[in-house]
Amino acid sequence: MAFGSFNNNRPHAMMSDINVTPMVDVMLVLLVIFIITAPMFTHAVKLELPRAQAAAAQQQADTVTVSVDAAGAVFWNDAPVDDAALATRLAGAAARSPQPELQLRVDKAARYEVVARIMAAAQTQGLTKFGFVTDPNKENGHGQH
């Protein structure tokens, strides 16, 4: 331990510097350990997952289809509706027993704001069953031409 100084002019003064050599040694050892073990953590289990096609769900008797086209127009079972009529129809559907499932058919170019507004209105009126309708023939925009 270097508590004294090598200065002969002040023989009784203690050295006030911290010896960092042991800390640097420990940090270098840890660095080498992490460099050696890091490649072991990056290897993942290689799996080839099975591919499955889900059959298109058959439309149940108690379903309501709300469609949104690319321009943001809303349709209730293929009939155009405005926001007030949509809220009235959602309230009527929520009052039915059992509640119908609300199936949302949304154009991929439609704004998310319109979909969020419809879902919020349905939840406000008390509807709890939602479903999103997709086209099973198209995958990632590369459908059959």
CA torsion through residues 26, 29, 35, 36, sign: negative
* Helix, strand or coil, per DSSP, at residue 47: coil
Architecture category of domain 63-132 in CATH: 2-Layer Sandwich (3.30)
Domain ranges of the chain: 63-132
Q: How far, in Å, CA of 112 to CA of 118, rounded? A: 10
Pairwise CA distance, residues 12 & 5, whole Å: 8
Tokens at residue 46, please?
Answer: 């290689």
pLDDT digits (tens, 9 = 90+) for 4-61: 555 566 556 677 788 889 999 999 999 999 999 887 776 655 656 667 676 666 655 5
Q: What are phi and psi of 76, to 5 degrees?
A: -105, 110
- Backbone φ, ψ for residue 79 (5° rounding): -110, 130
Question: How far apart are alpha carbons 135 and 145 in whole angstroms?
Answer: 14
Give pTM, 2 decimals: 0.52
